[in-house]
Amino acid sequence: MHHSTSLSFSLPTPRLRAALAACALAVAGLGSAAAQTAGSGGTDSGSASQWGLGVGLGYERKPYRDFDDKARALPLLMFENRHVSLLGTRADLKLPAYGPVAFSLRARYAFDGYDAGDSPFLAGMAERKDSLWLGGSATWRAGFGTLSAELLGDASGHSKGAQFRLQMERRIQRGDFGFTPRIAGHWMDDKYVDYYYGVQAGEARVGRAFHRGDAAVNVELGVRVDYALAPRQSVFLDVSATRLGDAIQDSPLVDRSGTAGVRVGYLYRF
């Protein structure tokens, strides 16, 4: 089996989804690192607007068989004030906090879909579309770290599914370096798993049997390292490994028990 990895600075139409997905991953990681760096410097992010521009490179290995994974470099944009937070494909409308717990309404555009041309093994499969997810989030910042939860539903109606993510992370500052290990559990309901990992009767082939997806929980371990080049400039490296839930591993479209991702980037905060 051969998995190709290449770097491209263009956005050809057939690969637009993969490119934007890589951008979203890079922006999310870099935005979090930049926000933490700003907080450690004494900036009151709750009363002033912050925005930044930079460049990021993201690569994530998909679980599908023979999938043509690619790394992409794209510009980054982030913005935050006391009312809203925009990080790549995620937008939050901040709600009143309750003590140390912050709440928000969240919209996230996820590039989970695929085309039959993304892998020879997917030939004959119907397109699985990307989706807009809407819901809410809660973040509790305590002495032991930051605990966050996110509950979203498929507002696009493609999978008609739901997902829930619970994450724990702790930032450790060492001079200009910041180290943030994390662990997360990501639950997806049966509708989500069936849409993205199931095989319908009309899609079944020799070696690709009919398959009905069931709910699954992925477990992710990761660490983010950020470095302050200057008061307004930062770079970061984020690596992660995810163990796929049993219901996803059981899919005939999947040939591995886990996936991995790497994101690097640079951001200038104005």
Burial label, 241 (beta-carbon count in 10 A; 0-12, 13-18, 19+): middle
Tokens 């639950």, residue located: 187
- Which residues are within 8 A (CB) of 175 and not within 5 positions of it... i.e. 6 or more apart? none
CB atoms within 10 A of CB 123: 12
- Lowest average pLDDT, out of 26-40, 52-66, 199-213, 247-261, goes to 26-40
- pLDDT-derived band at 260, boundaries 50, 70, 90: very high
SS3 187: strand
pTM for this prediction: 0.82
Average pLDDT rounded to a whole number, residues 94-98: 96
- Which residues are within 8 A (CB) of 157 and not within 5 positions of it... i.e. 6 or more apart? none
Q: Between the ranges 5-14, 20-29, 199-208, where is the mean pLDDT highest?
A: 199-208
Per residue in 153-194, pLDDT (tens digit) is: 999 999 999 999 999 999 999 999 999 999 999 999 999 999
CA atoms of 184 and 154, how far apart (whole Å): 21
- pLDDT-derived band at 47, boundaries 50, 70, 90: low
Residue ranges per structural domain of the chain: 7-269
Q: Which has the higher per-residue pLDDT, 66 or 39? A: 66
CB atoms within 10 A of CB 223: 14
CA atoms of 84 and 90, how far apart (whole Å): 11
Position 88 scores a pLDDT of 77
Average pLDDT rounded to a whole number, residues 90-101: 95
Per residue in 56-79, pLDDT (tens digit) is: 898 888 999 999 877 878 788 899
Tokens 């770290």, residue located: 145
Tokens of 168: 């724990």
CA atoms of 122 and 143, how far apart (whole Å): 47
pLDDT at 45 over 60: no
**Degrees, nearest 5: CA angle 250-152-89:** 100
Position 104 scores a pLDDT of 98
- pLDDT-derived band at 38, boundaries 50, 70, 90: very low
Strands (E) located in the chain: 7-8, 50-60, 71-80, 84-87, 90-98, 101-110, 131-142, 145-154, 162-169, 172-174, 177-188, 216-230, 233-243, 258-269
CA atoms of 156 and 109, how far apart (whole Å): 10
pLDDT at 148 over 80: yes
pLDDT at 41 over 80: no
Q: Which of 54, 34, 52 is nearest to 178 (CA)?
A: 34
Per residue in 222-240, pLDDT (tens digit) is: 999 999 999 999 999 999 9
CA atoms of 118 and 88, how far apart (whole Å): 24
Q: Which has the higher per-residue pLDDT, 39 or 50? A: 50
CA atoms of 83 and 86, how far apart (whole Å): 10
Per residue in 101-118, pLDDT (tens digit) is: 999 999 999 989 999 999
- pLDDT-derived band at 24, boundaries 50, 70, 90: low
Tokens of 178: 């910041």
Architecture of domain 7-269: Beta Barrel (2.40)
C-alpha of 78 from chain center: 15
SS3 199: strand
- Which residues are within 8 A (CB) of 16 and not within 5 positions of it... i.e. 6 or more apart? none
